[in-house]
């Protein structure tokens, strides 16, 4: 029922994607996503060196014989990142699917294309998606304002952004932001997407390499339990609501505030260690989207994907007249 050009092109069973999530996209989770018939992405920069990424790719292959990819997020950093070396590690490891995000992927596309790698680029606006299509990427993951991470500065939600992108683009679209259920999958397909991307939903799985307290907090949270931070610095991000994220918002709104005033609170290392590692959900900044309000249990990736597909099939079966079901 859900086989389409996207699933056939990328060799997956279901039109469901687990995009790159820093500190979460490891072989433990991504192999489980792949084994469930979806497409998952290891995060290259979660690994401290390109050599460590090669080992993580090999570890993922030991855990699954199904397709998976690698995310390469290109962002300005205080310490230079050897992006070319990470890219070469991806290519040399025989990865055939890459998700790029952040900055312009153009410098890396020739090497990926020469190696036969299919590239999915994450975009937060139609204009950015069109630019990526012109550069030659194979698909676009379009992030609505509901998503965790960096939704851009336009504040356009998926209900508008997905069909707007579908109308403008000629390559497949993955809908991202606020999706965690079979109903969300059906809606995204109806709006013109070929697949859906879920991040927060896959965080609340048994295989996600984060503390159980974080998973339970996602289940306990509602759709109101995320916060927009860094807006004043033109780097808007959606994170889980806690004392740290609310303090960041308060400090950022003070006249003359700079990022240096909140850097100690926004530290990625602090979030990874205190929150994901130690389970202190108030211990640092951590990522979660509005889809928290749609997540009511913690299951395996197989259970999550299976329940979404089953629900989607049930919805379509109820909605379509018998003569249109095929």
Per-domain boundaries in the chain: 5-209+297-324, 226-287
Alpha-helix residue ranges (DSSP H) falling in 136-198? 158-168, 182-190
Q: What is the pLDDT of residue 79?
A: 76
Given pLDDT bands bounded at 50, 70 and 90, which one contains residue 326?
A: very low
Contact 271, 242 (CB under 8 A): no
Contact 132, 110 (CB under 8 A): no
| 78 burial via Cβ count (<10 Å: 0-12, 13-18, 19+) | exposed
Q: What is the pLDDT of residue 2?
A: 86
Max Cα separation, the chain?
64
Q: What is the pLDDT of residue 257?
A: 94
Fold that domain 5-209+297-324 belongs to in CATH: TIM Barrel (3.20.20)
Answer whether residue 78 shows pLDDT above 70.
no
Distances (CA, A) of 32 to 51, 60, 202, 222, 276: 23, 9, 10, 26, 19
Given pLDDT bands bounded at 50, 70 and 90, which one contains residue 1?
A: low
HSE, side-chain direction, 13 A CA sphere, residue 177: 28
Q: What's the whole-number average pLDDT of the chain?
A: 95
CA 78 – CA 302 distance, rounded (Å): 39
Copy the structure tokens of residue 264.
Answer: 């100690």
Task: Report, as an integer, the average pLDDT of 118-125.
Answer: 97
Q: What is the pLDDT of residue 209?
A: 97
Answer whether residue 240 shows pLDDT above 60.
yes
Answer whether residue 324 shows pLDDT above 60.
no
Give tens-digit pLDDT for 190-217. 999 999 999 999 999 999 999 999 999 9
pTM above 0.85, yes or no: yes
Percent of the chain beyond pLDDT 90?
92
Copy the structure tokens of residue 128.
Answer: 């950015």
Answer whether residue 323 shows pLDDT above 70.
no
Range from 69-83, 127-141, 258-272, 277-291 carrying the lowest mean pLDDT:
69-83
CA 296 – CA 65 distance, rounded (Å): 30
Q: What is the pLDDT of residue 75?
A: 83
Answer whether residue 322 shows pLDDT above 80.
no
């Amino acid at each position: 029922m859900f086989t389409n050009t996207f699933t056939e092109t990328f060799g997956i069973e279901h039109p469901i994607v687990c995009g790159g999530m820093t500190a979460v996209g490891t072989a433990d989770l991504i192999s489980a996503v792949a084994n469930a018939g979806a497409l998952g992405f290891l995060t290259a920069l979660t690994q401290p060196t390109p050599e460590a990424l090669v080992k993580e790719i090999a570890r993922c292959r030991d855990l699954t014989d199904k397709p998976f990819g690698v995310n390469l997020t290109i962002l300005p950093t205080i310490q230079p990142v050897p992006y070319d070396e990470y890219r070469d590690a991806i290519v040399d490891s025989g990865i055939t699917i890459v998700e790029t995000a952040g900055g312009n992927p153009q410098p890396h596309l020739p090497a990926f294309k020469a190696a036969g790698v299919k590239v999915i680029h994450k975009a937060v606006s139609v204009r950015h998606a069109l630019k990526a299509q012109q550069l030659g990427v194979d698909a676009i993951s379009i992030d609505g304002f509901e998503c965790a991470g960096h939704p851009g500065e336009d504040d356009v939600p998926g209900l508008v952004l997905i069909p707007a992108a579908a109308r403008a683009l000629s390559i497949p679209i993955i809908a991202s932001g606020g999706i965690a259920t079979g109903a969300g999958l059906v809606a995204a397909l109806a709006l013109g997407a070929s697949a859906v991307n879920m991040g927060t939903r896959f965080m609340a799985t048994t295989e996600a390499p984060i503390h159980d307290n974080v998973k339970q907090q996602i289940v306990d949270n509602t759709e109101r339990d995320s916060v927009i931070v860094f807006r004043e610095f033109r780097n808007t991000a959606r994170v889980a609501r806690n004392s740290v994220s609310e303090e960041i918002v308060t400090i950022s709104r003070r006249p003359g505030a700079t990022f240096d005033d909140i850097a100690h609170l926004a530290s990625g290392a602090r979030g990874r260690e205190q929150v994901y590692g130690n389970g202190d959900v108030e211990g640092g900044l951590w990522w979660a989207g509005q889809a928290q309000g749609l997540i009511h249990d913690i299951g395996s990736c197989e259970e999550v994907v299976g329940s979404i597909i089953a629900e989607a099939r049930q919805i379509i079966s109820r909605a379509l007249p018998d003569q249109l079901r095929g």
